[in-house]
Structure 1
Amino acid sequence: MIKLVAIDLDGTLLNPQGELSTSVKQTIQSVRQEKIKIVLCTGRPFYSLAPLIKQLQLHKEDEYVISFNGAVLSDARGETVFFEQAVSYENFLQVLYLGQQLGLNYHVQSKEGIFTSSLVIDQYTAYDSILNRVPIKIVKLDELRHIPIYKVMLVGEKERIDAAIPQILSNWSKQFNHMRSLDCFYEFLPLQASKGQTLQRLTEQLGIQSNEVLAIGDNENDLSMLQFAGISVAMGNAAQTIKQQADYVTKSNEEDGVNHSLLQLLNEKRRIKS
Protein backbone atom coordinates (compact mmCIF):
# COMPACT_ATOMS: atom_id res chain seq x y z
CA MET A 1 0.00 0.00 0.00
CA ILE A 2 1.38 3.40 -0.99
CA LYS A 3 2.05 5.73 1.94
CA LEU A 4 4.16 8.42 0.24
CA VAL A 5 4.23 9.98 -3.22
CA ALA A 6 7.43 11.78 -4.28
CA ILE A 7 6.87 14.23 -7.13
CA ASP A 8 9.30 16.21 -9.24
CA LEU A 9 8.28 19.75 -10.22
CA ASP A 10 9.59 21.02 -13.57
CA GLY A 11 8.40 18.87 -16.45
CA THR A 12 6.30 16.79 -14.04
CA LEU A 13 3.92 18.42 -11.55
CA LEU A 14 4.09 21.81 -13.28
CA ASN A 15 2.69 22.33 -16.75
CA PRO A 16 4.87 23.81 -19.55
CA GLN A 17 3.98 27.30 -18.27
CA GLY A 18 5.35 26.43 -14.84
CA GLU A 19 1.90 26.32 -13.23
CA LEU A 20 -0.21 23.90 -11.18
CA SER A 21 -3.50 22.83 -12.69
CA THR A 22 -6.66 23.24 -10.64
CA SER A 23 -7.32 19.53 -11.05
CA VAL A 24 -4.00 18.38 -9.63
CA LYS A 25 -4.32 20.72 -6.65
CA GLN A 26 -7.69 19.18 -5.84
CA THR A 27 -6.50 15.63 -6.39
CA ILE A 28 -3.47 16.12 -4.15
CA GLN A 29 -5.80 17.13 -1.31
CA SER A 30 -7.83 13.96 -1.92
CA VAL A 31 -4.65 11.89 -1.77
CA ARG A 32 -3.62 13.56 1.50
CA GLN A 33 -7.05 12.81 2.97
CA GLU A 34 -6.19 9.14 2.45
CA LYS A 35 -3.19 9.65 4.81
CA ILE A 36 -0.71 9.48 1.90
CA LYS A 37 2.14 11.95 2.17
CA ILE A 38 2.98 14.21 -0.78
CA VAL A 39 6.66 15.12 -0.92
CA LEU A 40 8.01 17.60 -3.46
CA CYS A 41 11.39 16.36 -4.73
CA THR A 42 12.96 19.05 -6.84
CA GLY A 43 16.22 20.40 -8.14
CA ARG A 44 14.98 23.87 -7.26
CA PRO A 45 16.27 25.64 -4.15
CA PHE A 46 13.95 25.65 -1.18
CA TYR A 47 13.59 29.43 -1.12
CA SER A 48 11.81 29.37 -4.49
CA LEU A 49 9.11 26.91 -3.40
CA ALA A 50 6.98 28.95 -0.98
CA PRO A 51 4.22 29.84 -3.49
CA LEU A 52 3.84 26.22 -4.62
CA ILE A 53 3.88 24.87 -1.07
CA LYS A 54 1.14 27.31 -0.15
CA GLN A 55 -1.00 26.45 -3.18
CA LEU A 56 -0.72 22.76 -2.34
CA GLN A 57 -1.41 23.41 1.37
CA LEU A 58 1.77 21.58 2.30
CA HIS A 59 2.84 24.25 4.78
CA LYS A 60 1.28 22.36 7.68
CA GLU A 61 3.13 20.47 10.41
CA ASP A 62 4.75 17.14 9.50
CA GLU A 63 5.23 17.90 5.80
CA TYR A 64 8.56 17.55 4.01
CA VAL A 65 10.43 18.83 0.97
CA ILE A 66 13.53 17.56 -0.79
CA SER A 67 15.28 20.42 -2.58
CA PHE A 68 18.55 21.13 -4.40
CA ASN A 69 18.26 17.68 -6.06
CA GLY A 70 18.63 15.95 -2.71
CA ALA A 71 21.29 18.13 -1.10
CA VAL A 72 18.73 19.39 1.45
CA LEU A 73 15.87 17.70 3.30
CA SER A 74 13.70 20.01 5.38
CA ASP A 75 10.21 20.42 6.70
CA ALA A 76 7.92 22.22 4.28
CA ARG A 77 7.97 25.38 6.40
CA GLY A 78 11.75 25.60 6.14
CA GLU A 79 12.06 25.70 9.91
CA THR A 80 14.00 22.46 10.39
CA VAL A 81 16.71 20.95 8.20
CA PHE A 82 17.06 17.20 8.65
CA PHE A 83 19.86 16.68 6.15
CA GLU A 84 22.14 18.91 4.13
CA GLN A 85 25.33 18.27 2.23
CA ALA A 86 27.43 20.94 0.54
CA VAL A 87 30.07 20.67 -2.19
CA SER A 88 33.54 21.38 -0.81
CA TYR A 89 35.36 24.44 -2.12
CA GLU A 90 38.10 22.20 -3.53
CA ASN A 91 35.57 20.11 -5.45
CA PHE A 92 33.86 23.27 -6.65
CA LEU A 93 37.17 24.44 -8.13
CA GLN A 94 37.49 21.13 -9.98
CA VAL A 95 34.12 21.68 -11.65
CA LEU A 96 34.98 25.30 -12.41
CA TYR A 97 38.17 24.29 -14.19
CA LEU A 98 36.34 21.51 -16.02
CA GLY A 99 33.82 24.05 -17.26
CA GLN A 100 36.60 26.28 -18.51
CA GLN A 101 38.11 23.37 -20.45
CA LEU A 102 34.72 22.53 -21.95
CA GLY A 103 33.81 26.14 -22.79
CA LEU A 104 30.90 26.19 -20.34
CA ASN A 105 30.02 28.91 -17.85
CA TYR A 106 29.00 28.16 -14.28
CA HIS A 107 27.04 29.32 -11.28
CA VAL A 108 26.36 27.81 -7.89
CA GLN A 109 23.20 27.52 -5.83
CA SER A 110 23.21 28.07 -2.10
CA LYS A 111 20.47 28.64 0.43
CA GLU A 112 21.51 32.29 0.16
CA GLY A 113 20.89 32.49 -3.60
CA ILE A 114 22.69 32.11 -6.92
CA PHE A 115 26.39 33.06 -7.01
CA THR A 116 29.02 33.40 -9.72
CA SER A 117 32.40 35.05 -10.10
CA SER A 118 31.75 35.73 -13.80
CA LEU A 119 31.47 39.42 -14.56
CA VAL A 120 29.38 38.68 -17.66
CA ILE A 121 26.20 36.81 -16.72
CA ASP A 122 25.44 33.81 -18.91
CA GLN A 123 21.93 33.78 -20.39
CA TYR A 124 21.26 30.40 -18.74
CA THR A 125 22.34 31.68 -15.36
CA ALA A 126 19.85 34.51 -15.90
CA TYR A 127 17.22 31.90 -16.80
CA ASP A 128 17.88 30.02 -13.54
CA SER A 129 17.55 33.31 -11.67
CA ILE A 130 14.17 34.00 -13.28
CA LEU A 131 13.00 30.41 -12.75
CA ASN A 132 13.76 30.56 -9.03
CA ARG A 133 12.89 34.23 -8.51
CA VAL A 134 16.20 35.11 -6.91
CA PRO A 135 18.86 37.66 -7.86
CA ILE A 136 22.33 36.70 -9.04
CA LYS A 137 25.16 37.72 -6.75
CA ILE A 138 28.59 38.33 -8.29
CA VAL A 139 31.41 37.62 -5.84
CA LYS A 140 35.14 37.12 -5.91
CA LEU A 141 36.10 33.50 -6.43
CA ASP A 142 37.66 33.18 -2.98
CA GLU A 143 34.45 34.39 -1.33
CA LEU A 144 32.75 31.16 -2.41
CA ARG A 145 35.01 29.36 0.07
CA HIS A 146 32.72 30.65 2.83
CA ILE A 147 29.35 29.99 1.16
CA PRO A 148 27.64 26.59 1.48
CA ILE A 149 27.41 25.34 -2.11
CA TYR A 150 24.65 22.80 -2.65
CA LYS A 151 24.94 22.59 -6.43
CA VAL A 152 27.53 23.60 -8.99
CA MET A 153 25.92 24.09 -12.38
CA LEU A 154 27.65 24.13 -15.74
CA VAL A 155 25.43 25.98 -18.18
CA GLY A 156 25.25 26.40 -21.93
CA GLU A 157 23.44 25.58 -25.14
CA LYS A 158 22.06 22.05 -25.49
CA GLU A 159 24.65 21.18 -28.13
CA ARG A 160 27.53 22.25 -25.86
CA ILE A 161 26.18 20.19 -22.96
CA ASP A 162 25.67 17.22 -25.30
CA ALA A 163 29.30 17.45 -26.41
CA ALA A 164 30.58 17.79 -22.83
CA ILE A 165 28.80 14.78 -21.33
CA PRO A 166 31.16 12.03 -22.66
CA GLN A 167 34.17 13.78 -21.11
CA ILE A 168 32.33 14.31 -17.83
CA LEU A 169 31.30 10.67 -17.66
CA SER A 170 34.77 9.36 -18.44
CA ASN A 171 36.61 11.55 -15.90
CA TRP A 172 34.29 12.59 -13.08
CA SER A 173 31.81 9.80 -12.36
CA LYS A 174 33.36 8.76 -9.05
CA GLN A 175 33.97 12.19 -7.55
CA PHE A 176 30.51 13.73 -7.77
CA ASN A 177 26.87 12.87 -8.04
CA HIS A 178 26.13 14.58 -11.32
CA MET A 179 23.29 14.69 -13.79
CA ARG A 180 21.54 16.73 -16.43
CA SER A 181 18.46 18.50 -15.07
CA LEU A 182 17.48 20.57 -18.13
CA ASP A 183 18.90 20.75 -21.65
CA CYS A 184 20.95 23.80 -20.63
CA PHE A 185 22.02 22.64 -17.12
CA TYR A 186 24.50 20.01 -15.97
CA GLU A 187 24.69 19.75 -12.19
CA PHE A 188 27.33 18.53 -9.74
CA LEU A 189 26.44 17.56 -6.18
CA PRO A 190 28.22 15.72 -3.36
CA LEU A 191 28.24 11.94 -3.71
CA GLN A 192 25.95 11.69 -0.68
CA ALA A 193 23.27 13.89 -2.26
CA SER A 194 20.65 12.75 -4.76
CA LYS A 195 16.88 12.64 -4.81
CA GLY A 196 16.94 8.89 -4.27
CA GLN A 197 19.37 8.90 -1.35
CA THR A 198 17.56 11.70 0.44
CA LEU A 199 14.16 10.16 -0.23
CA GLN A 200 15.50 7.03 1.44
CA ARG A 201 16.65 9.14 4.41
CA LEU A 202 13.16 10.59 4.72
CA THR A 203 11.37 7.25 4.48
CA GLU A 204 13.64 5.76 7.14
CA GLN A 205 12.86 8.74 9.35
CA LEU A 206 9.13 8.17 8.82
CA GLY A 207 9.23 4.37 9.09
CA ILE A 208 8.06 3.90 5.49
CA GLN A 209 9.37 1.07 3.28
CA SER A 210 10.52 1.65 -0.30
CA ASN A 211 7.70 -0.56 -1.61
CA GLU A 212 5.28 1.91 -0.01
CA VAL A 213 6.62 4.78 -2.13
CA LEU A 214 5.43 5.99 -5.54
CA ALA A 215 7.72 8.39 -7.42
CA ILE A 216 6.93 10.48 -10.50
CA GLY A 217 9.54 12.25 -12.63
CA ASP A 218 10.75 13.12 -16.10
CA ASN A 219 14.50 13.70 -16.23
CA GLU A 220 17.93 12.34 -15.29
CA ASN A 221 17.91 13.98 -11.88
CA ASP A 222 14.77 11.95 -11.05
CA LEU A 223 16.30 8.59 -11.91
CA SER A 224 17.64 7.79 -8.43
CA MET A 225 14.26 8.35 -6.76
CA LEU A 226 12.47 6.34 -9.46
CA GLN A 227 14.89 3.48 -8.82
CA PHE A 228 14.33 3.70 -5.06
CA ALA A 229 10.52 3.78 -5.17
CA GLY A 230 8.41 0.65 -5.14
CA ILE A 231 6.39 2.08 -8.02
CA SER A 232 7.99 4.46 -10.50
CA VAL A 233 6.13 6.58 -13.05
CA ALA A 234 7.71 8.47 -15.93
CA MET A 235 5.94 11.40 -17.53
CA GLY A 236 4.85 11.16 -21.15
CA ASN A 237 7.28 14.00 -21.90
CA ALA A 238 10.16 12.23 -20.10
CA ALA A 239 13.44 11.32 -21.75
CA GLN A 240 13.33 7.89 -23.36
CA THR A 241 15.98 6.57 -20.96
CA ILE A 242 13.75 7.54 -18.02
CA LYS A 243 10.71 5.85 -19.57
CA GLN A 244 12.71 2.66 -19.99
CA GLN A 245 13.60 2.65 -16.30
CA ALA A 246 10.08 3.33 -15.00
CA ASP A 247 7.34 0.84 -14.17
CA TYR A 248 4.72 2.96 -15.88
CA VAL A 249 4.52 5.88 -18.29
CA THR A 250 1.73 8.39 -17.73
CA LYS A 251 0.53 11.35 -19.78
CA SER A 252 2.72 14.40 -20.37
CA ASN A 253 2.83 17.42 -18.07
CA GLU A 254 0.88 19.30 -20.75
CA GLU A 255 -1.87 16.67 -20.30
CA ASP A 256 -1.75 16.77 -16.48
CA GLY A 257 -0.03 13.40 -16.21
CA VAL A 258 0.55 13.66 -12.45
CA ASN A 259 -3.16 14.20 -11.88
CA HIS A 260 -3.89 11.15 -14.05
CA SER A 261 -1.49 8.98 -12.01
CA LEU A 262 -2.80 10.20 -8.65
CA LEU A 263 -6.39 9.50 -9.69
CA GLN A 264 -5.34 5.95 -10.57
CA LEU A 265 -3.74 5.64 -7.13
CA LEU A 266 -6.93 6.85 -5.46
CA ASN A 267 -9.10 4.49 -7.48
CA GLU A 268 -6.87 1.54 -6.56
CA LYS A 269 -6.93 2.45 -2.87
CA ARG A 270 -10.73 2.76 -2.90
CA ARG A 271 -11.03 -0.55 -4.75
CA ILE A 272 -8.98 -2.28 -2.06
CA LYS A 273 -11.10 -0.70 0.68
CA SER A 274 -14.31 -1.94 -0.92
Structure 2
Amino acid sequence: MIKLIASDMDGTLLDNDMQISPENVAAIKEAQARGIEFIVATGRNREEAVPALSAAGINCAMVTLNGAHVFDPTGQSLFIVPIPYEEACRLFDLLESRDIYFEVFTNQGLYSENQEERIQLFAEHIAEIMPHLTHKMAIAMTAAHLEQLPIIHTENIRQTLLDEELEVLKIICLHNEGPAILGPVAAEIDRYGDLVVTSSGTNNLEINHKNAQKGIAVAHIAKDRGIDLADVMTIGDNLNDLSMIQLAGVSFAMENAHLELKENAKYHTDSYLNSGVGKAILRAINEEL
Protein backbone atom coordinates (compact mmCIF):
# COMPACT_ATOMS: atom_id res chain seq x y z
CA MET A 1 0.00 0.00 0.00
CA ILE A 2 1.27 3.47 -0.86
CA LYS A 3 3.10 5.47 1.79
CA LEU A 4 4.51 8.32 -0.30
CA ILE A 5 2.96 10.26 -3.22
CA ALA A 6 5.03 12.50 -5.50
CA SER A 7 3.17 14.70 -7.99
CA ASP A 8 4.34 16.96 -10.78
CA MET A 9 2.78 20.42 -10.86
CA ASP A 10 2.39 21.95 -14.35
CA GLY A 11 0.04 19.93 -16.52
CA THR A 12 -0.63 17.65 -13.56
CA LEU A 13 -1.52 19.14 -10.19
CA LEU A 14 -2.27 22.71 -11.34
CA ASP A 15 -5.29 23.82 -13.36
CA ASN A 16 -5.46 26.49 -16.06
CA ASP A 17 -5.37 29.21 -13.41
CA MET A 18 -2.16 27.70 -12.00
CA GLN A 19 -4.08 26.72 -8.87
CA ILE A 20 -4.83 23.39 -7.17
CA SER A 21 -8.47 22.40 -7.58
CA PRO A 22 -10.65 21.75 -4.51
CA GLU A 23 -10.95 18.10 -5.61
CA ASN A 24 -7.19 17.70 -5.72
CA VAL A 25 -6.79 19.42 -2.36
CA ALA A 26 -9.41 17.20 -0.74
CA ALA A 27 -7.73 14.03 -2.03
CA ILE A 28 -4.31 15.17 -0.84
CA LYS A 29 -5.72 15.98 2.59
CA GLU A 30 -7.39 12.57 2.71
CA ALA A 31 -4.10 10.88 1.91
CA GLN A 32 -2.29 12.89 4.57
CA ALA A 33 -4.97 12.05 7.13
CA ARG A 34 -4.25 8.38 6.43
CA GLY A 35 -0.55 8.89 7.13
CA ILE A 36 0.52 8.99 3.47
CA GLU A 37 3.14 11.66 2.79
CA PHE A 38 2.51 13.97 -0.19
CA ILE A 39 5.34 15.82 -1.95
CA VAL A 40 5.65 17.75 -5.19
CA ALA A 41 8.33 17.02 -7.77
CA THR A 42 8.51 19.89 -10.22
CA GLY A 43 10.70 21.61 -12.78
CA ARG A 44 9.86 24.88 -11.05
CA ASN A 45 12.09 26.45 -8.43
CA ARG A 46 10.78 26.73 -4.90
CA GLU A 47 9.70 30.36 -5.29
CA GLU A 48 7.46 29.40 -8.21
CA ALA A 49 6.03 26.34 -6.48
CA VAL A 50 5.16 27.78 -3.07
CA PRO A 51 2.28 30.20 -3.93
CA ALA A 52 -0.14 27.57 -5.30
CA LEU A 53 0.67 25.15 -2.49
CA SER A 54 0.27 27.82 0.18
CA ALA A 55 -3.06 28.98 -1.29
CA ALA A 56 -4.29 25.39 -1.03
CA GLY A 57 -3.04 24.98 2.53
CA ILE A 58 -0.58 22.26 1.53
CA ASN A 59 2.74 22.11 3.34
CA CYS A 60 5.10 19.47 1.99
CA ALA A 61 8.61 18.56 0.98
CA MET A 62 9.58 19.70 -2.50
CA VAL A 63 11.72 18.23 -5.23
CA THR A 64 12.44 21.29 -7.37
CA LEU A 65 14.28 22.02 -10.60
CA ASN A 66 13.76 18.41 -11.72
CA GLY A 67 15.65 17.09 -8.71
CA ALA A 68 18.52 19.57 -8.55
CA HIS A 69 17.32 21.15 -5.28
CA VAL A 70 15.31 19.38 -2.59
CA PHE A 71 13.63 21.02 0.42
CA ASP A 72 11.97 19.72 3.55
CA PRO A 73 8.44 20.95 4.49
CA THR A 74 9.88 23.92 6.42
CA GLY A 75 11.77 25.17 3.36
CA GLN A 76 15.17 24.04 4.59
CA SER A 77 17.49 22.98 1.79
CA LEU A 78 18.35 19.27 2.01
CA PHE A 79 20.67 18.87 -0.95
CA ILE A 80 21.58 20.27 -4.36
CA VAL A 81 23.04 18.69 -7.50
CA PRO A 82 24.74 21.45 -9.54
CA ILE A 83 26.13 21.63 -13.07
CA PRO A 84 29.88 22.52 -12.88
CA TYR A 85 30.73 26.04 -14.05
CA GLU A 86 32.88 24.89 -16.96
CA GLU A 87 30.11 22.60 -18.18
CA ALA A 88 27.55 25.40 -17.87
CA CYS A 89 29.72 27.72 -19.98
CA ARG A 90 30.07 24.98 -22.59
CA LEU A 91 26.28 24.83 -22.75
CA PHE A 92 25.98 28.62 -23.01
CA ASP A 93 28.36 28.57 -25.98
CA LEU A 94 26.34 25.87 -27.72
CA LEU A 95 22.98 27.56 -27.15
CA GLU A 96 24.23 30.96 -28.24
CA SER A 97 25.72 29.46 -31.41
CA ARG A 98 22.23 28.19 -32.33
CA ASP A 99 20.51 31.45 -31.33
CA ILE A 100 18.53 29.71 -28.58
CA TYR A 101 17.26 31.68 -25.61
CA PHE A 102 18.18 30.27 -22.20
CA GLU A 103 17.99 31.16 -18.54
CA VAL A 104 19.79 29.83 -15.54
CA PHE A 105 18.38 28.58 -12.25
CA THR A 106 20.91 28.85 -9.43
CA ASN A 107 21.00 28.26 -5.69
CA GLN A 108 20.42 31.99 -5.25
CA GLY A 109 17.75 32.71 -7.84
CA LEU A 110 16.90 32.78 -11.52
CA TYR A 111 19.00 34.69 -14.06
CA SER A 112 18.21 35.90 -17.58
CA GLU A 113 20.02 38.08 -20.09
CA ASN A 114 16.96 39.13 -22.15
CA GLN A 115 13.66 40.03 -20.47
CA GLU A 116 11.75 40.90 -23.66
CA GLU A 117 12.59 37.59 -25.36
CA ARG A 118 11.75 35.76 -22.15
CA ILE A 119 8.20 37.16 -22.06
CA GLN A 120 7.59 36.35 -25.73
CA LEU A 121 8.83 32.76 -25.52
CA PHE A 122 7.09 31.97 -22.24
CA ALA A 123 3.85 33.36 -23.65
CA GLU A 124 4.17 30.91 -26.53
CA HIS A 125 4.76 28.11 -24.02
CA ILE A 126 1.65 29.09 -22.03
CA ALA A 127 -0.37 29.26 -25.26
CA GLU A 128 0.79 25.74 -26.06
CA ILE A 129 -0.36 24.24 -22.77
CA MET A 130 -3.50 26.43 -22.66
CA PRO A 131 -4.70 26.49 -26.29
CA HIS A 132 -7.92 28.29 -25.37
CA LEU A 133 -5.92 31.50 -24.76
CA THR A 134 -5.35 34.12 -27.44
CA HIS A 135 -1.78 35.31 -28.00
CA LYS A 136 -2.61 38.62 -26.31
CA MET A 137 -4.04 36.80 -23.29
CA ALA A 138 -0.95 34.59 -23.10
CA ILE A 139 1.32 37.65 -23.17
CA ALA A 140 -0.71 39.31 -20.40
CA MET A 141 -0.71 36.16 -18.26
CA THR A 142 3.04 35.73 -18.76
CA ALA A 143 3.81 39.33 -17.85
CA ALA A 144 1.65 39.11 -14.72
CA HIS A 145 3.26 35.82 -13.69
CA LEU A 146 6.79 37.08 -14.26
CA GLU A 147 6.12 40.18 -12.19
CA GLN A 148 5.50 37.87 -9.23
CA LEU A 149 8.50 35.66 -9.95
CA PRO A 150 11.82 36.92 -8.65
CA ILE A 151 14.27 37.08 -11.57
CA ILE A 152 17.63 38.73 -11.86
CA HIS A 153 18.62 40.26 -15.17
CA THR A 154 22.29 40.33 -16.08
CA GLU A 155 24.25 41.37 -19.14
CA ASN A 156 26.86 38.65 -18.66
CA ILE A 157 25.74 35.43 -17.03
CA ARG A 158 29.21 33.88 -17.09
CA GLN A 159 30.75 36.72 -15.14
CA THR A 160 27.81 36.92 -12.75
CA LEU A 161 28.16 33.24 -11.89
CA LEU A 162 31.83 33.78 -11.07
CA ASP A 163 31.38 37.04 -9.18
CA GLU A 164 28.53 35.75 -7.03
CA GLU A 165 29.98 32.23 -6.61
CA LEU A 166 26.66 30.74 -7.69
CA GLU A 167 25.80 27.08 -8.25
CA VAL A 168 24.05 26.33 -11.57
CA LEU A 169 21.17 23.94 -10.88
CA LYS A 170 19.19 23.94 -14.14
CA ILE A 171 19.32 25.57 -17.54
CA ILE A 172 16.09 25.93 -19.47
CA CYS A 173 16.15 26.91 -23.12
CA LEU A 174 13.29 27.82 -25.44
CA HIS A 175 12.81 28.22 -29.17
CA ASN A 176 9.56 28.89 -31.00
CA GLU A 177 10.41 26.34 -33.72
CA GLY A 178 10.47 23.62 -31.10
CA PRO A 179 11.89 20.18 -31.96
CA ALA A 180 13.24 21.29 -35.34
CA ILE A 181 15.83 23.41 -33.56
CA LEU A 182 15.91 21.90 -30.09
CA GLY A 183 16.04 18.24 -31.15
CA PRO A 184 19.56 18.33 -32.64
CA VAL A 185 20.78 20.38 -29.68
CA ALA A 186 19.36 17.83 -27.22
CA ALA A 187 21.11 15.04 -29.13
CA GLU A 188 24.41 16.89 -28.94
CA ILE A 189 24.06 17.54 -25.22
CA ASP A 190 23.21 13.87 -24.64
CA ARG A 191 26.66 13.01 -25.95
CA TYR A 192 28.30 15.03 -23.16
CA GLY A 193 27.62 12.11 -20.84
CA ASP A 194 27.28 13.96 -17.53
CA LEU A 195 24.08 15.87 -18.28
CA VAL A 196 20.45 14.89 -18.75
CA VAL A 197 18.02 16.64 -21.10
CA THR A 198 14.29 16.52 -20.49
CA SER A 199 11.33 18.66 -21.51
CA SER A 200 8.09 20.04 -20.11
CA GLY A 201 6.77 21.16 -23.51
CA THR A 202 7.54 20.98 -27.20
CA ASN A 203 9.26 24.37 -27.29
CA ASN A 204 11.69 23.86 -24.40
CA LEU A 205 14.59 21.80 -23.12
CA GLU A 206 15.51 21.45 -19.45
CA ILE A 207 19.13 20.61 -18.75
CA ASN A 208 20.37 19.21 -15.45
CA HIS A 209 23.28 17.24 -14.10
CA LYS A 210 22.66 13.54 -14.76
CA ASN A 211 22.18 12.97 -11.01
CA ALA A 212 19.54 15.71 -10.80
CA GLN A 213 16.41 13.86 -11.85
CA LYS A 214 13.00 13.62 -10.23
CA GLY A 215 13.27 9.85 -9.93
CA ILE A 216 16.63 9.98 -8.16
CA ALA A 217 15.38 12.65 -5.75
CA VAL A 218 12.13 10.81 -4.97
CA ALA A 219 14.09 7.60 -4.38
CA HIS A 220 16.40 9.49 -2.01
CA ILE A 221 13.44 10.82 -0.02
CA ALA A 222 11.82 7.39 0.12
CA LYS A 223 15.04 5.81 1.38
CA ASP A 224 15.37 8.52 4.02
CA ARG A 225 11.80 7.75 5.18
CA GLY A 226 12.44 3.99 5.16
CA ILE A 227 9.83 3.53 2.42
CA ASP A 228 10.21 0.82 -0.21
CA LEU A 229 9.84 2.02 -3.81
CA ALA A 230 6.99 -0.47 -4.21
CA ASP A 231 5.04 1.76 -1.79
CA VAL A 232 5.76 4.98 -3.70
CA MET A 233 3.19 6.55 -6.04
CA THR A 234 4.15 9.09 -8.72
CA ILE A 235 1.97 11.21 -11.02
CA GLY A 236 3.11 13.20 -14.06
CA ASP A 237 2.48 14.33 -17.60
CA ASN A 238 5.75 15.03 -19.39
CA LEU A 239 9.22 13.74 -20.10
CA ASN A 240 10.82 15.37 -17.07
CA ASP A 241 8.54 13.07 -15.02
CA LEU A 242 9.68 9.88 -16.74
CA SER A 243 12.40 8.94 -14.25
CA MET A 244 9.99 8.99 -11.30
CA ILE A 245 7.23 7.25 -13.27
CA GLN A 246 9.61 4.40 -14.07
CA LEU A 247 10.81 3.82 -10.50
CA ALA A 248 7.55 3.86 -8.53
CA GLY A 249 5.54 0.82 -7.57
CA VAL A 250 2.39 2.78 -8.42
CA SER A 251 2.59 5.32 -11.26
CA PHE A 252 -0.09 7.38 -13.00
CA ALA A 253 0.06 9.27 -16.28
CA MET A 254 -2.35 12.13 -16.84
CA GLU A 255 -4.81 11.91 -19.72
CA ASN A 256 -2.94 14.85 -21.27
CA ALA A 257 0.44 13.15 -20.78
CA HIS A 258 3.15 12.65 -23.37
CA LEU A 259 2.73 9.30 -25.15
CA GLU A 260 6.04 7.92 -23.85
CA LEU A 261 4.99 8.68 -20.29
CA LYS A 262 1.67 6.90 -20.81
CA GLU A 263 3.51 3.86 -22.14
CA ASN A 264 5.69 3.72 -19.00
CA ALA A 265 3.00 4.40 -16.38
CA LYS A 266 1.15 1.53 -14.74
CA TYR A 267 -2.14 3.45 -14.57
CA HIS A 268 -3.82 6.40 -16.30
CA THR A 269 -5.98 9.11 -14.78
CA ASP A 270 -8.05 12.07 -15.95
CA SER A 271 -6.51 15.30 -17.28
CA TYR A 272 -5.19 18.20 -15.24
CA LEU A 273 -8.38 20.07 -16.19
CA ASN A 274 -10.51 17.43 -14.45
CA SER A 275 -8.60 16.96 -11.19
CA GLY A 276 -6.77 13.88 -12.42
CA VAL A 277 -4.37 13.94 -9.47
CA GLY A 278 -7.19 13.77 -6.95
CA LYS A 279 -8.87 10.95 -8.85
CA ALA A 280 -5.61 8.99 -8.98
CA ILE A 281 -5.00 9.43 -5.26
CA LEU A 282 -8.52 8.31 -4.31
CA ARG A 283 -8.28 5.33 -6.65
CA ALA A 284 -4.98 4.29 -5.08
CA ILE A 285 -6.49 4.57 -1.61
CA ASN A 286 -9.79 2.86 -2.41
CA GLU A 287 -8.23 0.03 -4.40
CA GLU A 288 -5.28 -0.27 -2.00
CA LEU A 289 -2.79 -0.06 -4.85
Task: Give the alignment's TM-score, normalised by structure 2.
Answer: 0.84
1:65 matched to 2:83? The reply is no
For residues 104 and 144 of structure 2, the distance between their equivalents in structure 1, rounded to whole angstroms, comes to 11
Aligned equivalent of 2:33:
33
| Residues 104-160 of structure 1: per-residue CA shift (max 9 Å, x gap) | 111111243321234754323684993693243222231123222211111121x24
- Are residues 128 and 208 of structure 1, via their aligned partners in 2, closer, same or farther at CA, if it must alter by over 3 Å? farther
Identity %: 28
**Pairwise CA distance, 1:41:** 0.6
Equivalent position amino acid for 2:35 in 1:
K
- The residue correspondences of 1:12-91 to structure 2 (distance < 5 A) are 12-59=12-59, 63-78=60-75, 80-91=76-87
Query: Which of 113, 137, 140 in structure 1 is aligned with 2:152?
Result: 137
**Pairwise CA distance, 1:259:** 1.3
Q: Which moved more, 1:32-41 or 1:182-191?
A: 182-191
Aligned residue pair count: 265
- Are residues 209 and 49 of structure 1, via their aligned partners in 2, closer, same or farther at CA, if it must alter by over 3 Å? same
- Are residues 236 and 131 of structure 1, via their aligned partners in 2, closer, same or farther at CA, if it must alter by over 3 Å? farther
CA contact 1:113–1:134 (8 Å) conserved in 2: no
- Are residues 117 and 248 of structure 1, via their aligned partners in 2, closer, same or farther at CA, if it must alter by over 3 Å? same
Query: Which of 237, 248, 252 in structure 2 is aligned with 1:218?
Result: 237
| Residues 35-58 of structure 1: per-residue CA shift (max 9 Å, x gap) | 111011111101222223324433
1:96 matched to 2:92? The reply is yes
**SS of equivalent to 2:121:** helix
- Are residues 171 and 13 of structure 1, via their aligned partners in 2, closer, same or farther at CA, if it must alter by over 3 Å? closer
- The residue correspondences of 1:251-270 to structure 2 (distance < 5 A) are 251-269=270-288
- Are residues 259 and 50 of structure 1, via their aligned partners in 2, closer, same or farther at CA, if it must alter by over 3 Å? same
Structure 1 residue ranges, 4+ long, deviating more than 4 angstroms after superposition = 125-129
CA contact 2:178–2:202 (8 Å) conserved in 1: no
For residues 3 and 45 of structure 1, the distance between their equivalents in structure 2, rounded to whole angstroms, comes to 25
CA contact 2:63–2:214 (8 Å) conserved in 1: yes
For residues 135 and 242 of structure 1, the distance between their equivalents in structure 2, rounded to whole angstroms, comes to 31
CA contact 1:155–1:184 (8 Å) conserved in 2: yes
Aligned equivalent of 1:177:
196
For residues 143 and 227 of structure 2, the distance between their equivalents in structure 1, rounded to whole angstroms, comes to 34
| Residues 181-230 of structure 1: per-residue CA shift (max 9 Å, x gap) | 22332111111100000111111110001100010000000000001111
| Residues 43-101 of structure 1: per-residue CA shift (max 9 Å, x gap) | 11012222233244333xxx4111111001111221x2221111121111111111123
CA contact 2:7–2:234 (8 Å) conserved in 1: yes
Q: Which runs of 5+ in 2 are unaligned?
A: 124-141
**Pairwise CA distance, 1:262:** 1.2
Equivalent position amino acid for 1:143 in 2:
T
| Residues 240-259 of structure 1: per-residue CA shift (max 9 Å, x gap) | 11111111111111111111
CA contact 1:74–1:82 (8 Å) conserved in 2: yes
For residues 24 and 120 of structure 1, the distance between their equivalents in structure 2, rounded to whole angstroms, comes to 35
Aligned equivalent of 2:128:
none
Structural RMSD (CA): 2.2
